[in-house]
Amino acid sequence: MSIWRLMSWKMTSNSGLTSESQLTCLVREVLKAKDFSLDDVPDDFNAHTEMTRFDASEATLDANGIFQRDSWRESVAEILVPTRERNTDGNGQLFTVPGFHHRPLVDVIRAAFSEASSRWFHLTPFK
């Protein structure tokens, strides 16, 4: 019955937009995780409420949080977006994106190769 419920949910939720791999991931990484307990999920669970709570918790990150570690930087990004309006510069409309988080590429590469799983990276090109 549990398998039927999972497959039925997959076929009827989000107009069928949930893929088989997403459902497999849900089962393997969430439902079968050793630290997952259905008893921890309240009967009145609401994903929107929990997402709001999750987002609010990010505001409580301390100074040594994820964005301060690993060379994360915050800056303002300016991007040119094409519009239907005529622009004398021909480059589109300039939009400013405040609070853009990014890391230098070299730091990302260093972090990736410092992981234990990096020993399985394929570094030799092939056809």
Per-residue pLDDT of the chain (127 residues; tens, 9 = 90+): 888 888 888 888 765 677 888 888 888 888 998 998 989 999 999 989 988 888 887 777 665 566 566 778 889 999 888 887 777 767 788 889 998 888 889 888 888 888 888 888 888 887 7
pLDDT at 61: 66
Extract long-range pairs of 69-73: CB within 8 Å, 24+ residues apart: 70/103, 70/107, 70/111, 71/103, 71/104, 71/107, 72/101, 72/102, 72/103, 73/101, 73/102, 73/103, 73/104
Q: Is the pTM of this model over 0.85?
A: no
By percentage, how much of the chain surpasses pLDDT 70?
87
71 and 34 inside one domain: no
CB 76, CB 97: distance < 8 Å: yes
56 and 1 inside one domain: yes
71 and 17 inside one domain: no
Its domain, for residue 41, covers 1-60
Closest by CA to 94, choosing from 76, 80, 84, is 80
112 and 71 inside one domain: yes
CA-CA distance, 84 to 89, in Å (whole number)?
A: 13
Residue where one domain finishes, among candidates 60, 75, 101: 60
20 and 70 inside one domain: no
Residue where one domain finishes, among candidates 60, 77, 102: 60
pLDDT at 96: 93
